[in-house]
Structure 1
Amino acid sequence: MPRNTHAQSLSRRTVLRGMGTAVALPLLNVMSPTRLLAASASDGKPPLRMGFFYVPNGMHMPDWTPKQDGFKFDLPPTLARIADHQKDINVLTGLTLDGARAHGDGGGDHARSVAAFLTGSHPRKTNGADIQNGISVDQMTAKYVGDKTRFASLELGLETSAQAGNCDSGYSCAYASNMSWRGPTNPMAKEIDPGALFDRLFSGQVVKETKQAISVREKYRKSILDFVLEDAKQLHKTLPPVDQRKLDEYLYSVRDVEKRVGGAEKLRMSEDGVPDYPRPSGVPKELSKHAELMMDMVTLAYQTDSTRILSFMFTNAGSNRSYPDIGVTEGHHESSHHGKSPHKQDNIARINRYHIDRFNYLLSRMKQVPEGNGTLLDNCMLVYGSGISDGDRHNHDDLPIILAGGAGGRIKTGRHIRYQKETPLCNLYVWMMQQMGAKADSFGDSKGPLDKLS
């Protein structure tokens, strides 16, 4: 970190250093447009981020789709869970994912719905090594802007990725458990461990931790921030009051997440109070805690501009996980085939609300982070939804899709927008890619950029 007495201007690349560790900073006011270097938007505004959040098995659509269009619409029961953010989202109705349809391949809608969700492609039906899909929108965009951040993209989730096996009616598990594809035969495996993700974001930045730092931290369970504390104090003195508050709030968030990651598994302690085995993986047994830790990590990754492109799968395609903590003891996939059973439809509605509660947590966290003239959420565009509409019908039209965030003022939010039937979901991706600066006139089965957003 520069040892200037008054930080009138600070590079966006500035980090806090100490004992071989480096921690990135959030966007501060003193990071003026002339010093943002390649990490900034060309006009000096906060950088724009994109994210994709996938839930499996479709939705209970009567509890999802608003009846009114435009700005004045009532939130149905599922969307009512994000009522605090109604002005920050657009509900998009009528979008279609044609690549997830059978097209003569028979069963396998769950695997196809994930494989096609970000690619718009129809995956080759195989459970062997000859998988074939398309490049996904996140990876296509990363080719244009990925070099501006430490991580071109991040692929995250709550269940591990598989690269082989038969997971859905003859479709490879690679399709069912990966939605990000670097190329036709290259699925991008997800990181599901909050501890490992935390280490990627904060332990190896710019310079790798020295063996001495790792040894000390593991032995005494010291925070990463302990090593950069002196640098943080010196920087704090040079900042104006508004940036001092931003720095304090950011470091508190990092410390808080680190503590919760470290407490995800109980440590066995030796007699002298020192842990007798290495740092735990950090994956909590409770799904809600796991999800919230990962959402905290998403916020920090965007806040530090470690990446601008991110994908997140809540569970893999066709997941049959039960949710006993919300009163659903039957499996998710089993319940999605409801056959109009009131009990199973109630199960699906409960699970839908559970998932969107986690997304609501993320939106709340991001909205608490001031950035530029608004918040972190204002400078994002986050897609939340599924590649299946009604899980019983396995249909891929009229998808449940939310677009959250203001995209740096490019989106008029707070609306329910109803599109013409069979409007490609990929139209949305073309529009998003163009906002990110990617040269894209088409993607997948798109017919042009999605209208009505600006």
Structure 2
Amino acid sequence: MPDSLSRRTLLRGLGVSLALPLFESMSATRLLAATSKAPETPLRMGFFYVPNGMHMPDWTPTKAGHGYEMPETLARLSKHRDKFNVLTGLTLDGAYAHGDGGGDHARSVAAFLTGAHPRKTNGADIQNGVSVDQFAAEQIGGATRFGSLELGLEESSQAGNCDSGYSCAYASNMSWRGPTSPVAKEIDPGALFDRLFAGQTVKETRRAKSVREKYRKSVLDFIQEDAKRLHQTLPEVDRRKLDEYLYAVRDVEKRIAGAERLGISEEGVPDYPRPSGVPRELANHSELMMDMITLAIQTDSSRILSFMFTNAGSNRSYPEIDVSEGHHELSHHGKSKHKQAQIAKINRFHVDQFGYLLKRLSSVSEGDGTLLDHCMLVYGSGISDGDRHNHDDLPILLAGGGAGQIKTGRHIRYENKTPLCNLYLWMMQQMGVKADKFGDSSAVLSELG
């Protein structure tokens, strides 16, 4: 293995750069012997938002600690139960009205990562707080190619009236670089792929993309010579790991290419490129994005990310799971058994997509564990019961081992009204971010380690 090989080494070709995963020969034990100093396996954090609250009876365990019985929605993650904690009692005070009237959906997203109470306006005078991902990226984002990634399945908006007088900027963005600067999310898997694996200049990127489209080449075709040379220098265990990684990249690329075509109908209509490049099926779209997240983490392209399944107050239907009514309308269930059952189906659908990511991260070995072992991933909503629009006792799940800092497999019940930002403060401190307070935090969240 060449002495200069490191996690920041890139395989290069025409307008293409491909970061490397962590090889066994980069492990702490080997490098300790060579340098007398072992590098730490990187720790990552991510935030995953679902809209319109949760059907809480199917989410909240009745027993605290280990060995709790998993309600029906959480049971979808039973294969990973020893890799996450369920946290109850956390509150998002900034999402409450505080005299501003309606708009709980927009506030729930705007406050979810900031802990701030957004100014009620649908004009240009938006005012929020800095989000936890951007606060952390400002300090430690320089360690990777991308300080943070902002992703989702529905486009961001920066203007318009989306919820009872609140700007669409609040309802469709949860990452905020500053009080007046929401960060739009990337929803196109192909565009994200290009960001991660394209060249270092716009000119090179456009040239490489043009060549790939003309000759239908894979990004891997451009770096194959570099990859072959590296393959010859690696020990057998790392050759297998490199082969697995390149296969994963090729597989995602093929699926993205497939998503850009409508296919051939039974009537024999030829396929043609889809203008958006985004899969029509939400599950396929989500899985591609989760695969891209896995590759981004595996290559240490970024250690901080946010992901919105849909925008606040989303009223999309879910025909793929036989839910024809709109999600937002169903969330105002008025205790209707039918509507609550439909809401629970949507909740389980979203949890399944998150479970797919946990499966992918668990399948990739890294250092002394897996990618998931070296992550802290928050999954949840800024609304508890969608009918009540309450922002206390939120549905929050923390997945990943935090590089050994988190004792998992538990239901941890906190005193109600405990600030959600206490969790964020704890997470940032594990990441090495200097912070004594964040948002409306009152202390560092306890009982996680």
Q: Residue 156 of structure 2 aligns with which residue? A: 161
Superposed CA deviations along residues 152-174 of structure 1, whole A, max 9, x for unmatched, are: 10100000000011000000000
Q: CA deviation at 1:280?
A: 6.0
1:288 to 283, 294, 302: 283
Q: CA deviation at 1:267?
A: 7.4
- 2:27/2:367 contact within 8 Å kept: no
Q: CA deviation at 1:206?
A: 7.9
1:50 to 38, 45, 55: 45
Cα 1:235–1:57 change in 2 (3 A) is same
Q: Residue 215 of structure 1 aligns with which residue? A: 210
- 1:430/1:450 contact within 8 Å kept: yes
What is the TM-score normalised by the length of structure 2?
Answer: 0.94
Give, in whole Å, the separation in 1 of the partners of 2:184 and 2:84. Answer: 29
1:148 aligns with 2:147: no
Superposed CA deviations along residues 135-188 of structure 1, whole A, max 9, x for unmatched, are: 000000001110111111010000000001100000000000000000000000
- 2:80/2:358 contact within 8 Å kept: yes
- Greater CA deviation, 429-438 or 239-248? 239-248
3-state SS, counterpart of residue 135 of structure 1: coil
Q: Residue 334 of structure 2 aligns with which residue? A: 339
1:384 aligns with 2:384: no
3-state SS, counterpart of residue 77 of structure 2: helix
- 2:260/2:273 contact within 8 Å kept: no
Cα 1:277–1:447 change in 2 (3 A) is same
Cα 1:61–1:212 change in 2 (3 A) is closer
1:245 aligns with 2:233: no
Q: Residue 452 of structure 1 aligns with which residue? A: 447
Give, in whole Å, the separation in 1 of the partners of 2:371 and 2:202. Answer: 27
- Greater CA deviation, 7-16 or 275-284? 275-284
- 1:21/1:208 contact within 8 Å kept: no
The residue identity in structure 2 corresponding to 1:375 is: T
- 5+ residue gaps, structure 1, are 1-5, 37-41, 270-274
Give, in whole Å, the separation in 1 of the partners of 2:205 and 2:419. Answer: 50
Q: Residue 39 of structure 1 aligns with which residue? A: none
Cα 1:229–1:439 change in 2 (3 A) is same
1:322 aligns with 2:323: no
Q: CA deviation at 1:30?
A: 2.7
Cα 1:224–1:380 change in 2 (3 A) is same
Superposed CA deviations along residues 179-228 of structure 1, whole A, max 9, x for unmatched, are: 00000000000100000000000113589636543322111210000010
Q: Residue 34 of structure 2 aligns with which residue? A: none
2:256 to 242, 258, 261: 261
Q: Residue 348 of structure 1 aligns with which residue? A: 343
Q: Residue 272 of structure 1 aligns with which residue? A: none
Q: CA deviation at 1:265?
A: 2.2
1:23 aligns with 2:18: yes
Give, in whole Å, the separation in 1 of the partners of 2:251 and 2:206. Answer: 25
Give, in whole Å, the separation in 1 of the partners of 2:200 and 2:62. Answer: 48
Give, in whole Å, the separation in 2 of the partners of 1:214 and 1:100. Answer: 43
Q: CA deviation at 1:29?
A: 2.4
Give, in whole Å, the separation in 2 of the partners of 1:266 and 1:367. Answer: 31
Q: Residue 438 of structure 2 aligns with which residue? A: 443
Q: CA deviation at 1:35?
A: 11
Q: Residue 186 of structure 1 aligns with which residue? A: 181
Give, in whole Å, the separation in 2 of the partners of 1:330 and 1:213. Answer: 44
Q: CA deviation at 1:13?
A: 1.5
- Aligned pairs for 1:298-313 within 5 A: 298-313=293-308
Give, in whole Å, the separation in 1 of the partners of 2:243 and 2:79. Answer: 26
3-state SS, counterpart of residue 120 of structure 1: coil
Give, in whole Å, the separation in 2 of the partners of 1:348 and 1:276. Answer: 35
- 1:378/1:407 contact within 8 Å kept: yes
1:133 aligns with 2:120: no
CA RMSD of aligned residues (A): 2.1
1:195 aligns with 2:185: no
Structure 1 residue ranges, 4+ long, deviating more than 2 angstroms after superposition: 6-9, 29-36, 204-215, 275-282
3-state SS, counterpart of residue 204 of structure 2: coil
Q: CA deviation at 1:44?
A: 1.2
Give, in whole Å, the separation in 1 of the partners of 2:206 and 2:59. Answer: 51
Give, in whole Å, the separation in 1 of the partners of 2:343 and 2:263. Answer: 39
The residue identity in structure 1 corresponding to 2:103 is: G
1:76 to 65, 71, 93: 71
Q: CA deviation at 1:95?
A: 0.2
Equivalenced residues, count: 439
Q: CA deviation at 1:103?
A: 0.3
